[in-house]
Amino acid sequence: MVDPSLACAALNLSADKLMHDHEVFGLLFEALVERDLRIYAEYEDGKLFHFRDNNSGDEVDAIIEFADGEYAAFEIKLSSGSIEDAKNSLINFYKNVRVKPKFMCIIVGHLEAVMHDKETGIYIVPFTSLMP
């Protein structure tokens, strides 16, 4: 879907219903972030993809590939409690790919500030910091 608010309307989901269904809320949040990433990527002549390797089990929520072949890998999490899982996912992905991403980032719904993990090089940013 182009906009996750359409899914909310079609399913008659209120804010109260979403607050009590963390799984659906997380899926819709991921779709919202992917929508925004696609808009920003297209502005820079990039394309948005999802990555999954059925052999290794590696999965990355979003890959933005640019015209020059460079790319970035993103994990999308609703809350900061999932940051470590997201880091591990990106680290495993990094170890298993031949062509390394230009940068890796975790986008979090509930986060106060932009952070940079010096050990892994992964950026951790609040969703509200996304803008062209």
Strand partners, 53: none
Torsion of CA 64, 69, 102, 1, to 10 degrees: 0
pLDDT at 81: 87
Considering the entire predicted model, what is its pTM?
0.89
Instruction: List, for the chain, all residue ranges whose pLDDT scores fall below the cut of 50.
Output: none
pLDDT at 9: 87
- Domains delineated in the chain: 4-129 (3.40.1350)
Taking the alpha carbons at both ends of the chain, their separation in whole angstroms is: 22
pLDDT at 48: 96
pLDDT at 1: 53
Alpha-helical segments (H) within the chain: 4-10, 15-19, 22-43, 83-96
Give the full edge-to-edge strand order of the sheet including 115-116: 47-52, 59-65, 71-79, 103-110, 123-126, 115-116
pLDDT at 102: 96
The phi-psi region of residue 46 (left if phi > 0; otherwise alpha if psi is between -120 and 50; otherwise beta) is beta
